[in-house]
Structure 1
Amino acid sequence: MVRRANDEHAYVVTYDVADARRWRRVFKLMKGYGRWLQLSVFHCRLDGGRRADMALALERLIDPGKDHVVILDLGPAGEVEFAVESLGKRFEPIERRAVVV
């Protein structure tokens, strides 16, 4: 199957950043790409261009010798039933909405 650049995929992005200042920068960046699930975990719906932009921005913020970011591609967003088992704090799924840039 060929993936078009504008096809949205669902992602889970999680990170372990050693420095508190860098961690805050990564957290702030990720709020612009997806929904915060918990401390260092975000759920994102991104097309190929936004996903590439996000990865590049993350690479610029982290220290590759000390920090680690994992981007899990869950597949085409329209085909993914994002089910989360949440113990404790209530989880609310991401709404699909248009973003004006």
Structure 2
Amino acid sequence: MADQLRLSLADHAMIHALGVLSRPPITDRSDLDLVVGILRDLMPGVTRENPQLMGLIQTADQFLSCRVSVPGCYGGLHDRARKVMNEWDRRRLADAWDRARGAK
């Protein structure tokens, strides 16, 4: 059974921001630059020592360094965010399932 992951508020906020950035076809793109601005403000508080967050952190950092020509459009980074969020969600689901089965 996996140890329960401890996340800071900044970690949670980063994960939710990447969730929004990972699905631009179903979100209002006009808000995505605001989401990246929130990422910029909170990234200093993210737990960078946590290896389970590395893919998410690297993707968030890429959004921060991306220069956009169309507001709210970060090109292939949306697809990268989708991939790392899917992997994160699968891993968290497996951890939760392991804990739930162990609680029987």
The two structures have a TM-score, normalised by structure 2, of 0.31
Structure with bigger strand share is 1
**Which has the greater radius of gyration?**
2
Structure with bigger helix share is 2
